[in-house]
Amino acid sequence: MTTITFDEFKRIDLRVGKIVEVIDHPKADRLYILRVDLGGEIRTLVAGIKPWYRKEELLGKHIIVLVNLEHKMIRGVVSEGMLLAADDGDTVSILTVDKPVKLGARVH
């Protein structure tokens, strides 16, 4: 495991967002295009979670998003961040919050 300094960790910007739209990626069977409300800003994320989640399970879910990740073109769609999820090799589980918080709230 690689370690990072505390100053490096402070540069990571994690925010609470709400999935407001889920679209099948037109060029990939395992990808969704997610529209995520970060409290006044809507971002597009491309996420490889289709094998583990139906659209209905995702819509309205409050998730944790890495917002200061460099934007990346994924199969023709620009992804403007990354959702966080746990993966044990068999199951993928999206990280969420357990109490209501404002959209865009910072995760520390």
Tens of pLDDT, residue by residue over 10-45, are 999 999 999 999 999 999 999 999 999 999 999 999
Say what the pLDDT of residue 1 is.
87
Closest CA to 61 of 29, 103, 33: 103
**Phi and psi (nearest 5°) for 44?**
-100, 130
Do 103 and 16 touch, CB atoms closer than 8 A? yes
Could you tell me which residues come within 8 angstroms of residue 7 by beta carbon, excluding any fewer than 6 positions away? none
Mean pLDDT of the chain: 97
Amino acid (1-letter code) at residue 19: I
Do the beta carbons of residue 14 and residue 107 sit within 8 Å? yes
